[in-house]
Amino acid sequence: MSAIMEVFLRRTRKSTNETVAAFRDDRFRVLRKTALPIIVGLSFLVVPAAYALQSIVLDDFESYEEGGVPSKWESNNGKTLFPITPALMNDSESFFIREENGNKFVRAITVDNAFRMILTNGNQFEWRLPDHPRISWDWRAIELPEGAREDTGKKNDTGGAVYVVFSKDFIGRPRIIKYTYSSTLPFGTTKSYGQLKVLVIASAMDGIGEWQHVERDLYADYQRLFGKTPPDEPLAIFLWSDSDTMHDRATVDFDNIALLGQTGVE
Ligand SMILES: [Ca+2]
Ligand SMILES: [Ca+2]
């Protein structure tokens, strides 16, 4: 266990001492597959070769057996990381591989509980942000904790979230952007929990039950939320689900977690 991992794993399921800073921003965009904007400019045609790097597919879940668990990923107990195994799964937290129409994905289910899947930079993958400044994934909310909202501690559950852990500050607190599929808050809402910034990029207000494609410019998001340039080597990525505060349940599917180069849509 590295010191860095120990630091960010101290960030647990509940946070306090918040300040409210919710606002909307049209720059926050969720790109639905059916409405992917086509933006082709001259700059696209003259992109330097150095930027034309291939995407890093962190997981498309096709390598696993249906009904299995995503064993490439790890979970944690306090500071200790360990691979995900079927023995970790139970009635209140399960992340199993499902298949529909020939495509496999992971289904995150929590019932009055919380669970995360972790990939660590330098362990399961190698990532330099200048080379791959964007992250993308597909997700589908099946059910979300009723009434949950990320801006209120007594209701703070997120049925599905993706965390990007960037670095730690001078006293060791991890700097994180938590991208959420919110039960109640509108798209574009932000909430600051100190070094943990929550960004609502999908909302049940706009519906659930359909696959959505998400693509985020991590430089732009970090600059907006932290007011500075992000570090070159982020630490980790989590997939997350919790329903423990509302004592409810959540079911969210994840697929195609990838890091993208500069070339392409922006
Ligand atoms: Ca897949
Ligand atoms: Ca919670």
Distance (Å) from CA 102 to ligand 1 centroid:
9
- Look at residue 4 and tell me whether its pLDDT is greater than 70: no
Distance (Å) from CA 262 to ligand 2 centroid:
35
Nearest ligand, CA of residue 138? 1
Distance (Å) from CA 144 to ligand 2 centroid:
12
Question: Residue 129: inside a domain, yes or no?
Answer: yes
User: Angle CA(15)–CA(21)–CA(26) in degrees, nearest 5?
Assistant: 120
Question: Residue 266: inside a domain, yes or no?
Answer: no
Q: Is the pLDDT higher at 162 or at 11?
A: 162
Q: What is the pLDDT of residues 199-258, one digit of tens each?
A: 999 999 999 999 999 999 999 999 999 999 999 999 999 999 999 999 999 999 999 999
Question: Residue 265: inside a domain, yes or no?
Answer: no
The encoded tokens of residue 86 equal: 């079927």
Question: Residue 37: inside a domain, yes or no?
Answer: yes
Question: Residue 94: inside a domain, yes or no?
Answer: yes
Nearest ligand, CA of residue 106? 1
Could you tell me the CATH number of the domain that includes residue 71? 2.60.120.260
Distance (Å) from CA 103 to ligand 1 centroid:
5
The pTM score is 0.81
- Look at residue 41 and tell me whether its pLDDT is greater than 80: no
d(CA 189, CA 192): 10
Which residues, including other chains, have CB under 8 Å from residue 191's CB and lie 6 or more apart?
18, 20, 21, 22, 150, 151, 197, 198
Q: What is the pLDDT of residues 47-76, one digit of tens each?
A: 454 445 789 999 999 999 999 999 999 999
Distance (Å) from CA 31 to ligand 1 centroid:
18
Instruction: Classify 142 as helix, strand or coil.
Output: strand
Question: Residue 253: inside a domain, yes or no?
Answer: yes
Q: What is the mean pLDDT of residues 37-46?
A: 43
Nearest ligand, CA of residue 183? 2
Nearest ligand, CA of residue 63? 1
Domain holding 154, by residue range, is 3-43+52-260
Distance (Å) from CA 213 to ligand 1 centroid:
13
Question: Residue 239: inside a domain, yes or no?
Answer: yes
Residue 8 DSSP class: H
Instruction: Classify 7 as helix, strand or coil.
Output: helix
Count of domains observed in the chain: 1
Nearest ligand, CA of residue 64? 1
Sign of CA dihedral 36, 40, 41, 43: positive
Distance (Å) from CA 216 to ligand 2 centroid:
24
CB 254 within 8 A of CB 96: no
d(CA 74, CA 117): 6
Question: Residue 222: inside a domain, yes or no?
Answer: yes
Distance (Å) from CA 191 to ligand 2 centroid:
15
